[in-house]
Amino acid sequence: MNILFMIGNGFDLNVGLKTSFHHFLPVYLRLPSSDARIEKFKETIDDEGIQTWANFEARLGEYAKEFNPDKGDDLVYCKDNFLEEFVNYLIHEESKIDYADHADEILRVFKKSLSEYIATLPSASSNAIKAVYAKYANERHYYDFMSYNYTGVLDACINILKSQQTAVFQHRANNGNTITDRLNNVLHIHGTIDADTILGCDNASQIHNDVLSCDNYFTRLLLKPSINERLRNQNHEKGEHLIDTSSIICVFGMSIGITDKTWWKKIGNWLLQGEPHNLVLFDIEDYRRIHTSALIRARDRITNRFFEMADFPEDKCEAYEPKIHIGLNTDVFKIDLTKSTKKA
pLDDT in tens, 212-263: 999 999 999 999 999 999 999 999 999 999 999 999 999 999 999 999 999 9
Counting other chains too, the contacts that 293-301 makes at CB distance below 8 Å and 24 or more residues apart are 295/328, 298/326, 298/328, 299/326, 299/328
Q: Are 201 and 60 in contact (CB under 8 A)?
A: yes
Judgement on whether residues 254 and 165 belong to the same structural domain of the protein: yes
DSSP E strand stretches across 35-194:
142-147, 170-172, 178-180, 182-188
Considering its fold, how many domains does the chain have in total? 2
Q: Are 335 and 14 in contact (CB under 8 A)?
A: yes
Please say which residue of 232, 253, 282 terminates a domain: 232
- The per-residue pLDDT for 34 is 93
Q: Are 59 and 78 in contact (CB under 8 A)?
A: no
pLDDT in tens, 148-170: 999 999 999 999 999 886 666 88
- Mean pLDDT, 10 residues at a time, the chain of 344 residues: 97 97 97 96 94 95 94 96 98 96 94 94 97 96 97 97 79 94 96 97 97 95 96 97 98 96 98 95 85 91 98 98 97 93 59
Judgement on whether residues 259 and 308 belong to the same structural domain of the protein: yes
- The per-residue pLDDT for 285 is 85
Judgement on whether residues 111 and 209 belong to the same structural domain of the protein: no
- The per-residue pLDDT for 10 is 97
Judgement on whether residues 284 and 311 belong to the same structural domain of the protein: yes
- The per-residue pLDDT for 164 is 80
Judgement on whether residues 184 and 211 belong to the same structural domain of the protein: no
Judgement on whether residues 111 and 3 belong to the same structural domain of the protein: yes
Judgement on whether residues 179 and 284 belong to the same structural domain of the protein: yes
- Dist. CA 8–CA 5, nearest whole Å: 10
> What is the reported pTM?
0.96
Judgement on whether residues 302 and 332 belong to the same structural domain of the protein: yes
Judgement on whether residues 89 and 120 belong to the same structural domain of the protein: no
Coil, helix or strand at residue 214: helix
Judgement on whether residues 82 and 132 belong to the same structural domain of the protein: no
Helix axes 53-63, 21-30, angle to 10 degrees: 50
- Dist. CA 169–CA 143, nearest whole Å: 10
Judgement on whether residues 134 and 188 belong to the same structural domain of the protein: yes
Q: Which helix or strand (DSSP H or E) is residue 280 part of? A: strand 278-283
User: In which domain, by residue range, is 145 found?
Assistant: 1-17+98-196+233-344
Please say which residue of 181, 209, 232 terminates a domain: 232
- Dist. CA 198–CA 209, nearest whole Å: 21
Please say which residue of 232, 256, 289 terminates a domain: 232
Judgement on whether residues 210 and 319 belong to the same structural domain of the protein: no
